[in-house]
Chain A
Amino acid sequence: MPKLTVNGVTHTVDADPDMPLLWVLRDRLDATGTKYGCGIAQCGACTVHLDGQPVRSCQTKVGDVGTAQVTTIEGVSGRVAEAVQAAWRKLDVVQCGYCQSGQIMSAIGLLSGNAKPSDSDIDGAMDGNICRCGTYQRIRAAIHEAARTLA
């Protein structure tokens, strides 16, 4: 049975290795902060980090995770994560909020590798994350705000 390390805790997961990480997180580990939106890597709502890199958990087979550290919205931490979450709150980015776990995980990924992203960097890193409420203007502003606080 696959072993899976999520937010620093190792679990033995009784699941088919083909089962997407998304459903293992949500239905086996009850870590429901990571969202199901499309199941085909079109919306980014399921974004988590594997060893710090954003991936779509709906297209990541649990059997392929191996020893990589899985980080979800519930466990994300550190200076960048705190800056991003604080910016999201300061600017009241959220509306329905359903996509925002994925948006935040993508934004943390972006800022972890690029301390001062341009608008086109933001387009590139965030275009895979759909927000049906259309909060993009505030997401963009919050990423710039987080970058300022991190500088």
Chain B
Amino acid sequence: MLNARRPNAAPVRPSRRGLLAGAGAIVVAFRLDAKPARAAAGPDLASVKAQPNAFVRIAPDDTVTVIIKHLDMGQGNTTGLATILADELGAAWSQVRTEFAPADATLYNNSLMGPIQGTGGSTAVANSWFQLRKAGAAAREMLMAEAAFRWKVPVSEITVADGVVRHAASGRQARFGELAASAASLPVPSEPRLKDPSEWTLIGQKVPRLDSVAKTNGSATYSLDIRRPNQVTAVVARAPRFGATVKSFDAAAARTVAGVLDVVQVPTGVAVIARDTWAAMKGREALTITWDDSTAETRSSEAILAEYRERAKGRGLTASERGDPQAALEGAAKVIEAEFTFPYLAHAAMEPLNATIERAPDGGYDVYAGFQFQTVEQATMAAILGVTPDRVRLHSNWAGGSFGRRATPTADYLAEAATVLKAAGEKAPIHLVWTREDDMAGGYYRPTVLHKVRAGIDAKGAVVGWDHVMVGKSIMIGSPFEAMIVKNGIDSTTVEGASDTPYALPAYRFGVHNGREGVPVLWWRSVGHTHTAHVMEVMIDELAHAADVDPVAYRLSLLTQAPRLAAVLKLAADKAGWAAKAQNKPQEKGRGLGVAVHESFGSYVAMVADVTAQEAGIRVNRIVAAVDVGVPVNPDVIRAQVEGAVGFALSAVLRNRITLKDGQVQEHNFDAYEPTRMSEMPKVEVHIVPSQAAPTGIGEPGVPVLAPAIANAVFSATGQRLRALPLDLTGVKGA
């Protein structure tokens, strides 16, 4: 299929089949071994094949469409991924468009997840960096070759910039759209020349987000906005307790509600199908259902935590061990023993879960949603519908947030949509809507976790031992990813950020007990780091104070082997005026600074929090953050993600918790589980470390350090250690 013509050879017209121009695909399959999503230990991303046909399309009207294989749930990866390819291509930003890729485990897999197409672990830019650079560079070389051929000049004299291909000596130039169709039939260069960083024109610059216009005039389509011809809307009445099933139900009253079309039983409950969302909700209110709780989780969250506290007395599975911390602690000058508890947390994305699914005339299925694990979701729905995965076509949309919730190993809400379609006879497209209440009480929470730490210092203040046990439910055990991630019963996503602490702790053990409750748990923006960073950073702070050493200096003394962490810590402290303020104690009554630093997903973040802790509560005045994400592809998007991480995580620091009473979730809407609001938002300053290291992600890494920075600032303000999240000032003296 490929024309063997060389750029400066005799002018044989290539055929006009055109990938760059739009049709077909020259697919170069590649597959990388599944490894945990951690760039440093992962596969050799730089050896990826150049695949311009999979990732870019250039139209005669000069638009450059970059194909986005990931879900954009607000983190701005659409802009980031397009930036990488467009820069190597030499495109002008104004001509760049994007399109979401279909599901394809071979072409569009996440190189850091193995043969799975999915978005998570802050990997979108990290896994695509070489892939999109090579795709863009290959397409650029193909355009250059076509121009050289047309103009009969050496390709070495051709330049590309701002969407124009030029030959300076002859003054000739052409737009991409003029060349693309012909260029598409040229051989794809296997090792195109990647630009030197000095040649980048978009990477590292502020470029306008590609979704800003559509998201400010109401035209951006989320899956809740999908309107298919003849579609009907379904809501499902689900069990009030996790694990319960329908014993019996009476739909007579529901069927009399105006607009209700059908009521069907599905594995997750009873679905009411109606003309519109309002009628479906009214119909659901009229259902009478008896639930069978014999297999349900019926405990309260306090009881689950009490069980955890009991289990934490045991040593647990050894996730990490060096030296003999128990012996070391016996000889310590001072020992601090602390317990940290964390509640379940709901993701509470603004767009509740939803999907639209229909049977197509060809016997296949079309599904519209914010897909976060495309190929897993496709296979799950295909199995329910009794077809091969390729017959289930996924149409991706902008997602109104996710924070992890849309990526369930069970594809829960999409599987449910398929079961509703099937139960309803596949007659009309089903628009499955989860109400806010459904979304919040529907499980898949950040696990509740308990940590118990004993750590000690010698007479000079140096750490001598650290003995750490945690209890929490694994996300991966029992999921399709168990074999890939769980080793010897230890789920790396449970212990990450603590078992692999970068602090030079001479004697250290991290033991873990896996929780056993029947509450579905899931990754919540930064996964295990949501709790491990808090424990590590509050404990280190406690040790620094016990040693009477400045908390920044104390951390630095333990981070001599972690230069990138040390650098962000110093930068944040410097920009926050840490040294000057630390010397001028006491400050204003009830006001203090706190610091935290943590690596997650290969990115390094430090934060200094300026907090006022008074009877009225905790007020965060200012956050100064420093981040090192390698090459900052889109500095403004990076800043936005860190600002947003603060806004997102602040309410979890201050008040959010999902609680169970006799197995029933008590929080159902934003009144009881209130996200951060405008008046609470601190000023956030973000400083980015210049770097030429391969880029890592920033969707998640801003989250882990916020809680410990604030908790440490509350200590500085009040002298009281708050170890449980959310932070509760009740009874704290000095507040």
Asked if B670 and A89 sit within 8 Å, CB to CB, the answer is no
Known: A89-B213, A89-B216, A138-B643. A130 touches B277 (CB 8 A): no
Known: A43-B670, A92-B209, A98-B222. A33 touches B351 (CB 8 A): no
B90-98, B113-121, B314-322, B396-404 - the one binding chain A: B396-404
Query: How far is it, in angstroms, between the C-alpha of A8 and the C-alpha of B351 when the chains are bound?
Result: 28
The residue that B351 contacts in the complex, of A23, A42, A98, with Cβ under 8 A, is A98
Asked if B218 and A72 sit within 8 Å, CB to CB, the answer is yes
Query: How far is it, in angstroms, between the C-alpha of A139 and the C-alpha of B227 when the chains are bound?
Result: 30
Residues of B within 8 A of A136 (CB): 647, 676-678, 681
Residues of A within 8 A of B277 (CB): 23, 26-27, 36
A40 at the interface (CB under 8 A from B): yes
22 contacts between A and B (CB under 8 A): A23-B278, A28-B276, A32-B218, A32-B227, A36-B277, A37-B351, A37-B352, A42-B670, A42-B671, A42-B674, A88-B212, A89-B212, A89-B216, A95-B76, A96-B73, A96-B399, A127-B679, A132-B348, A132-B675, A133-B647, A133-B648, A136-B676
B650 at the interface (CB under 8 A from A): yes
The residue that B681 contacts in the complex, of A37, A85, A99, A137, with Cβ under 8 A, is A137
The residue that B218 contacts in the complex, of A94, A101, A135, A138, with Cβ under 8 A, is A101
Residues of A within 8 A of B208 (CB): 89, 92
* Chain A interface extent, by class: 35 or more
- Kindly report which residue of chain B lies nearest to residue A106, judged by CB atoms: B678
A54 at the interface (CB under 8 A from B): no
A63 at the interface (CB under 8 A from B): no
Interface size on B, residues (CB 8 A): 62
Q: Which of A37-54 contact B (CB under 8 A)?
A: 37-40, 42-43, 45
A64 at the interface (CB under 8 A from B): no
B683 at the interface (CB under 8 A from A): yes
Asked if A32 and B225 sit within 8 Å, CB to CB, the answer is yes
- Kindly report which residue of chain B lies nearest to residue A123, judged by CB atoms: B679
| A58 CB, nearest partner CB in chain B, Å | 10
Query: How far is it, in angstroms, between the C-alpha of A133 and the C-alpha of B641 when the chains are bound?
Result: 8
Query: How far is it, in angstroms, between the C-alpha of A99 and the C-alpha of B648 when the chains are bound?
Result: 14
Binary CB contact string for chain B from 422 to 436 against chain A (1 if under 8 A, 0 otherwise): 000000000000011
The residue that A38 contacts in the complex, of B216, B436, B636, with Cβ under 8 A, is B436
Binary CB contact string for chain B from 386 to 418 against chain A (1 if under 8 A, 0 otherwise): 000000000000111101000000000000000
Known: A89-B208, A95-B74, A98-B222. A132 touches B435 (CB 8 A): no
A147 at the interface (CB under 8 A from B): no
- Kindly report which residue of chain B lies nearest to residue A119, judged by CB atoms: B679
Query: How far is it, in angstroms, between the C-alpha of A59 and the C-alpha of B727 when the chains are bound?
Result: 33
Residues of A within 8 A of B399 (CB): 96
Query: How far is it, in angstroms, between the C-alpha of A26 and the C-alpha of B277 when the chains are bound?
Result: 9
The residue that A137 contacts in the complex, of B350, B401, B435, B643, with Cβ under 8 A, is B643
Asked if A132 and B648 sit within 8 Å, CB to CB, the answer is yes
Asked if A94 and B215 sit within 8 Å, CB to CB, the answer is yes
Asked if B217 and A73 sit within 8 Å, CB to CB, the answer is yes
Asked if A97 and B219 sit within 8 Å, CB to CB, the answer is no
Asked if A104 and B216 sit within 8 Å, CB to CB, the answer is yes
Query: How far is it, in angstroms, between the C-alpha of A131 and the C-alpha of B641 when the chains are bound?
Result: 13
Query: How far is it, in angstroms, between the C-alpha of A99 and the C-alpha of B436 when the chains are bound?
Result: 14
A116 at the interface (CB under 8 A from B): no
- Kindly report which residue of chain A lies nearest to residue B233, judged by CB atoms: A27
| A98 CB, nearest partner CB in chain B, Å | 3
| A36 CB, nearest partner CB in chain B, Å | 7
The residue that B640 contacts in the complex, of A33, A92, A126, with Cβ under 8 A, is A92
Binary CB contact string for chain B from 647 to 679 against chain A (1 if under 8 A, 0 otherwise): 110100000000000000000011100111111
Residues of A within 8 A of B671 (CB): 40, 42
Q: Which of B62-79 contact A (CB under 8 A)?
A: 73-76
Asked if B74 and A96 sit within 8 Å, CB to CB, the answer is yes
- Kindly report which residue of chain A lies nearest to residue B623, judged by CB atoms: A137
Asked if A132 and B276 sit within 8 Å, CB to CB, the answer is no
The residue that B676 contacts in the complex, of A20, A89, A123, A134, with Cβ under 8 A, is A134
Asked if A16 and B218 sit within 8 Å, CB to CB, the answer is no
What secondary structure prevails in chain B residues at the interface with A?
Answer: loop
A19 at the interface (CB under 8 A from B): yes
Q: Which residues of A contact B (CB under 8 A)?
A: 16, 19-20, 23, 26-28, 30-40, 42-43, 45, 72-74, 85, 88-89, 92-101, 104, 122-123, 126-127, 129-140
Query: How far is it, in angstroms, between the C-alpha of A23 and the C-alpha of B277 when the chains are bound?
Result: 7
| The 4 A-B residue pairs with the shortest CB-CB distance in the complex, in nearest-first order | A134-B647, A33-B218, A96-B74, A98-B400
Query: How far is it, in angstroms, between the C-alpha of A36 and the C-alpha of B433 when the chains are bound?
Result: 11
| B542 CB, nearest partner CB in chain A, Å | 29
Query: How far is it, in angstroms, between the C-alpha of A95 and the C-alpha of B75 when the chains are bound?
Result: 6
Asked if B681 and A134 sit within 8 Å, CB to CB, the answer is yes
Asked if B678 and A122 sit within 8 Å, CB to CB, the answer is yes
Known: A92-B640, A136-B676. A97 touches B211 (CB 8 A): yes
B236 at the interface (CB under 8 A from A): no
Q: Name which of B73, B211, B215, B643 has the most chain A CB atoms within 10 A of its CB.
A: B215
Known: A94-B215, A123-B678. A35 touches B227 (CB 8 A): no
| A42 CB, nearest partner CB in chain B, Å | 4
The residue that A130 contacts in the complex, of B73, B215, B350, with Cβ under 8 A, is B350
Residues of A within 8 A of B222 (CB): 35, 98
Q: Which of B115-142 contact A (CB under 8 A)?
A: none
Known: A38-B670, A43-B350, A96-B399. A127 touches B677 (CB 8 A): yes
Residues of A within 8 A of B398 (CB): 96-97
Query: How far is it, in angstroms, between the C-alpha of A89 and the C-alpha of B217 when the chains are bound?
Result: 10
| B642 CB, nearest partner CB in chain A, Å | 10
B569 at the interface (CB under 8 A from A): no
Asked if B646 and A96 sit within 8 Å, CB to CB, the answer is no
Residues of A within 8 A of B278 (CB): 16, 19-20, 23, 27
B224 at the interface (CB under 8 A from A): yes
Asked if B276 and A23 sit within 8 Å, CB to CB, the answer is yes
Query: How far is it, in angstroms, between the C-alpha of A85 and the C-alpha of B218 when the chains are bound?
Result: 11
B644 at the interface (CB under 8 A from A): yes
Q: A95-B644, A132-B348 are known contacts; what are 5 more A-B pairs with Cβ within 8 Å?
A: A73-B218, A94-B74, A95-B76, A96-B350, A134-B643
Query: How far is it, in angstroms, between the C-alpha of A34 and the C-alpha of B222 when the chains are bound?
Result: 11
Q: Which of B220-236 contact A (CB under 8 A)?
A: 220-222, 224-225, 227, 233
B420 at the interface (CB under 8 A from A): no
B684 at the interface (CB under 8 A from A): yes
| B329 CB, nearest partner CB in chain A, Å | 40
B349 at the interface (CB under 8 A from A): yes
